[in-house]
A and B are shown apart, each in its own frame.
Chain A
Amino acid sequence: MNFGLYLPLLAGLACCNHFRLPPQARMEQALPSALAMGLATTIMLLCASSLSGLAGPGHDAAGLPPLLWPLLSLAISALLLSLGLHRFAARQTQQLGLGWPWLLTNSLLAGLPLQWLLGPAGSAMQLLAPLLSAALFTLLLVQFATLPQRLQRCALPSWLSGQPALLLCAGIIALALHRLGVCL
């Protein structure tokens, strides 16, 4: 795993997140939903890194496989957040599509590759990496939430309008991020 794969993975994940909403809600609730999912991902990644930090470096010595503890911490943070959201804002959570399967998927796919990428990095990097990753993911979610309105203003041929144009944009963004990631 390297950044050349991780950054396009985030773009693909953001694109899939955009399509999780029903078409009617995609127009009206796309931006609040994107912001909420981005913030939820930030919380999950920070929470997971805190859990990993609390466990300390001793968890390797405890006989656990190297990626089991990060996997567990990401899953626990996603499920805890899902539980909290369901407890305190069930209606908004349902309307914005913040269900536990998507929270868990985002948490694992955005957080787990970071463990490969960072390895036994310094503590500052352990703080910055989840934060930057979540910020980029939020940016991509907002990008996909606002793309349909911007594409409607373009004189696209009919066979390209709608979902194909969005998928094409996702491909272009993923390619650009791949080039950026290779340079990192």
Chain B
Amino acid sequence: MIIIMLRLVLLLLAIWLLGKVLRRSAQQLTPAPATTAPLVERIDAILPQTQCGQCGHAGCHPYAEALAKGEDSINRCPPGGEAGIRKLAALLQRDYLPFAPDAPPQKPKAVALIDERTCIGCTLCIQACPVDAILGSAKQMHTVLADECTGCELCLAPCPVDCISMRPVGEGAGDWRWGYPVIAIQPVKSGTRP
């Protein structure tokens, strides 16, 4: 008799718990989104959007398309840095790859600066800029919108008077980060501990 009562109590307890789980899941579960972002868009969101072409493609989106099709490797974007490679490896489920030996070296973020006294207003840099960060017109002084400039250096080569230079962007309070690693971890030998 006790066994039957115990069994009944346990059965009711399990039914009550199942009801709680179902009620909770009914509150939490939302209908699944109709579509998730396509893979190309998710890759493109990881890329730094410098449009610099150092990867060998016309911009970040074409590189993202090539990665989505598996036509290129994930270690061809120096502006994205190693963190970018790791994010791409995780998204595409590939192994981490260091930068290729022939890849352009990583540089600190910089913006273009036009020497206004030297500029002749040829507009070649305006045509070369992939993000329209240079303002000016023919035979008028040009200037760079520092907030828009991605530091791709594509404006340097066409300038006939070499009036464009790259200036590193200093860290501000908004983007300052601890250097990593902060403290090198040294293995402690068992005999050297006090």
Contacts and interface: CB of A to CB of B under 8 A. Distances in A.
Nearest to B96: A155
B93 A158 contact: yes
A73 interface: no
Contacts of A92: 22, 25-26, 29
Given A92-B26, A95-B29, A158-B94, A36 B14 contact: no
Interface residues of B, number: 25
Contacts of B14: 39, 42-43, 46
Contact of A36 (B6, B18, B95): B18
Interface residues of A, number: 32
A93 B18 CA distance: 11
A183 interface: no
Contacts of A91: 26
A36 B21 contact: yes
Main SS at interface, chain B: helix
B24 A32 contact: yes
B32 A50 contact: no
Interface stretch (A63-71, A123-131, A171-179): A123-131
A162 interface: yes
Contacts of A50: 4, 7-8, 11
A60 to B, nearest CB: 19
Given A46-B10, A127-B6, A131-B10, A157 B22 contact: no
A98 to B, nearest CB: 9
B18 A43 contact: yes
A25 B25 CA distance: 13
B163 interface: no
Interface in A139-167: 157-158, 161-162
Contacts of A17: none
B28 interface: yes
Interface of B: 3-4, 6-8, 10-11, 14-15, 17-19, 21-22, 24-26, 28-29, 32, 36, 89, 93-95
21 contacts: A24-B36, A32-B25, A39-B21, A40-B18, A42-B14, A43-B14, A43-B15, A46-B10, A49-B7, A85-B22, A89-B22, A91-B26, A92-B25, A92-B26, A92-B29, A96-B22, A127-B3, A131-B10, A158-B89, A161-B93, A162-B93
Given A92-B26, A157-B95, A158-B93, 8 more contacts: A29-B29, A32-B24, A39-B17, A40-B18, A50-B7, A53-B4, A95-B25, A158-B95
